[in-house]
């Protein structure tokens, strides 16, 4: 009998530079921070938050999204290797998807145009983070 799962808990992305990645994710999504190491933490706090690996964990309606800054500086994501293909976030409607185009344009973030996937019932907007991780926003196309 398979394991019964009712939702996912979190996704953590491995990144090269936490400052660059935080700037990107804060600017694009503005997620609330669930966990981060405070400035000048004492040893007990550092130990308690060691699971962050110097990164951050965001909280949003879908769950938790973490950034773990342990990738070498010359590394880069590629969806054709084993592991992650892309991360897709939902937005409520086509108007929100179009508004996201404006946000990305204002931030100077390259992106594809909004694509209507027809009978799949969704439209998508594709772009990449500073580590080349493929990201997508998805909305109902009706």
Domain-by-domain residue ranges, the chain?
8-73, 85-142
Instruction: Give the mean pLDDT of 40-63.
Output: 93
**Equal CATH topology for 8-73 and 85-142:** yes
C-beta of residue 37 within 8 angstroms of C-beta of residue 55: no
- E runs forming strands in the chain: 10-14, 32-36, 56-60, 63-68, 87-90, 115-116, 122-128, 134-140
Is a pLDDT exceeding 90 seen at residue 76?
Answer: no
Report CA Rg, the chain.
Answer: 17
Please name the CATH architecture into which domain 8-73 falls.
Answer: Roll (3.10)
Instruction: Give residue-wise pLDDT tens across range 113-124.
Output: 999 999 999 999
Instruction: Give the mean pLDDT of 79-96.
Output: 92
User: How many beta carbons lie within 10 A of that of residue 94, not counting itself?
Assistant: 16
CATH among 3.10.180.10, 3.30.450.30, 3.30.565.10, 3.40.50.880 for 85-142: 3.10.180.10
- Report pTM: 0.91
């Amino acid at each position: 009998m398979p394991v019964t799962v009712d939702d996912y808990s979190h996704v953590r992305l491995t990144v090269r530079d936490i400052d660059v990645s935080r700037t990107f994710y804060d600017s694009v999504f503005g997620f609330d921070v669930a966990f981060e190491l405070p400035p000048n933490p004492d040893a007990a706090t550092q130990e308690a938050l060691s699971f962050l690996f110097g990164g951050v964990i965001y909280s949003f309606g879908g769950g938790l999204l973490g950034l773990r800054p342990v990738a070498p500086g010359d590394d880069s994501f590629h969806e054709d290797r084993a592991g992650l293909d892309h991360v897709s976030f939902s937005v409520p409607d086509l108007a929100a998807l179009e508004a996201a185009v404006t946000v990305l344009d204002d931030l100077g973030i390259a992106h594809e145009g909004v694509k209507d996937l027809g009978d799949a019932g969704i439209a998508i907007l594709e772009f990449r983070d500073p580590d080349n991780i493929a990201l997508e926003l998805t909305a109902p196309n009706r």
